[in-house]
A and B are shown apart, each in its own frame.
Chain A
Amino acid sequence: MKRTFFLFPIFLIFLSQVSLSAQTALQLISKTVEKEFAYKPGNELNIEGEKADVQVESWDQDKIAVQIIFSAQHPDKKTAQRELEWIQYQAEKVQNKIYLRNYLKVPSGEEKPASTLKANYIIKVPSDCPVYLKSQFGMVRIRDLANQVRLNSTFTNIGLENIQGSIDITSRFGDLDGKFIDGTMFVNARRTDITLQELKGKYDLKTSYGTLNIFADPNVADLKLTADNTKIHLVSTDPSRFAFNIEAKASDLTLPDQMNFNVLEASNDPSVKKLLYKPVGKEYYANFTIVVTFSEFTLSVDK
């Protein structure tokens, strides 16, 4: 299978059979769909994007405004125009749920599209609108929401900013960047690189085969981390303010010298380490429970 696409340096290392062609003019045809929905508390936004970039942010109006831009690129304009219409979409309200969805429907008798097809959602919602998003191959940007965000993604780059309330994320093969998060966050990630910073509230993170960078703000109330085959870096301006309960199996631990961790119990398995730390002279403190397997865990002080 020989495919044609556009220069992107990183893959050159891994894909050896690469050849350059002369510069080509591509016809870019776009179709913009705009729609608004009345909103009242109790309504919920459900998005199912395929090969879609989705941007959701709040505004101060009691309605949901949706703009979806579908695009097709191909050297031949008629091909791009014809295949653009193969992207189907749904934008409707049923009971208290607003459904937005795109998918590809190739007419019978037609070959698969020769064009590069894509969808781009730009959505504005009231800040208290719960958002449920399912994404496959795309990018998600959500900001300034204050109720509930649920994401289920595959091959998706996720960006969250200024989110309060309940956050539930399941990610497989992707990236997750979150900042200014305040609430209860649950993450189940596999082969996902995660960076979280400017945090408040409670966190329950499960990761496999990825990286995890957490900048733990003093306002983090609780952190539970279960990881395997993950490279973890936990940074805080003062990690000694938190209580740590660490269980590490076949993992490398790097801890600050100034914090005296105690070994909780001797284990029969030499590959297992159990370490405990409690802040000195403090009655109330956040608990960090960390269970890592086949991982690298580094706790460091952000100076």
Chain B
Amino acid sequence: MELEQNRTTLKKAILALPSYQAPEGLWNDIAQQLDEEASSSSFASVIDELPEYRPPAFVWENINQALEEPVSKPALKVLSSSFLTRAAAVLLIIAASYLGYTLFNTGNEAKVSYAESTIMENPVEIDFQEDEPMIRMVSQAFEKSPVARQQSDYDRLLGELKELDQARQDVLDMMESYGEDSQMIKELADIERSRTDIVMKMARFI
């Protein structure tokens, strides 16, 4: 930029110029007059009388060509790309956090406490296998008995005993894992009662 050589002199001269204030209402009068002219038919007719000019074809071709050329704005592009990347990352983190919270929220932390006491019990000892040899003997004899095979209940009784044998084993397995309690003993007693009924029926046909 070229600097003014007599800057001080010029500044003094400008400050020495007289100042004038426009009369009150002047600007309002001008605005009103312009509005009236714009809305008047004479103003519209003057606009209609203005000449029209059609640009030559090469002007539009040049404009189209210019529009099709890629616009190079490296500084803005870098800034924009960086900003969008960061914004996308933030949004991704927020979305992932929300999704993770929604999908895998495992609830609040569990509170864990311990207690101990002493109880007195009357233990009993039971041999669960005491009657098994007898039951096996009866069921095997029934299975091989020609008389039993003639009975309509033959398959049903064998099937029932097999089911009950498996249930009995399930209870014993659970006792092995978790120890015995009155409910499991009751389950076992119910099963043994049913097994006894079946074995008694089988015994009639051997």
A residues with CB within 8 A of B: 1-8, 10-11, 13-21, 23-38, 50-51, 73, 77, 91-95, 98, 104, 112-118, 136-139, 154-155, 157, 173, 191, 209
Q: Which A residues touch B194, using CB under 8 A?
A: 191, 209
Query: B residues engaging A (CB < 8 A)?
Result: 102-131, 160, 167, 170-172, 174-194, 196
Q: Quick one: closest A residue to B171, CB to CB?
A: A155
Q: Which of B112, B118, B126, B131 meets A11, CB within 8 Å?
A: B126
30 intermolecular pairs with C-beta atoms under 8 Å apart: A1-B128, A1-B172, A2-B126, A3-B180, A4-B123, A8-B186, A11-B185, A15-B127, A15-B131, A15-B189, A21-B125, A25-B119, A27-B116, A27-B117, A31-B114, A32-B113, A33-B110, A34-B113, A35-B109, A37-B108, A38-B105, A51-B177, A92-B107, A93-B106, A113-B177, A113-B178, A114-B179, A116-B180, A137-B178, A155-B184
Contacts of B102 in A (CB 8 A): 95
Kindly list chain B residues whose C-beta atoms are within 8 Å of the C-beta of A14.
Answer: 189, 192-193, 196
CB-nearest residue of chain A to B107: A37
Docked complex Cα distance between A127 and B196 (Å): 44
Measured CB to CB, the closest approach of chain B to A261, in angstroms, equals 28
Q: A6-B181, A11-B126, A137-B174 are in contact. List 12 more A-B contacts (CB 8 A).
A: A4-B180, A11-B186, A16-B130, A17-B127, A18-B124, A20-B122, A34-B112, A36-B107, A95-B102, A117-B178, A137-B187, A191-B167
CB atoms of A6 and B119 under 8 A apart: no
For the complex, give the distance between the alpha carbons of A25 and B123 in Å: 10
Q: How far, in angstroms, from A139 to B121 measured CA to CA in the complex?
A: 22
CA separation between A258 and B197, bound complex, in Å? Answer: 36
Residue B112 contacts which of A28, A33, A50, A51 (CB distance < 8 angstroms)? A33
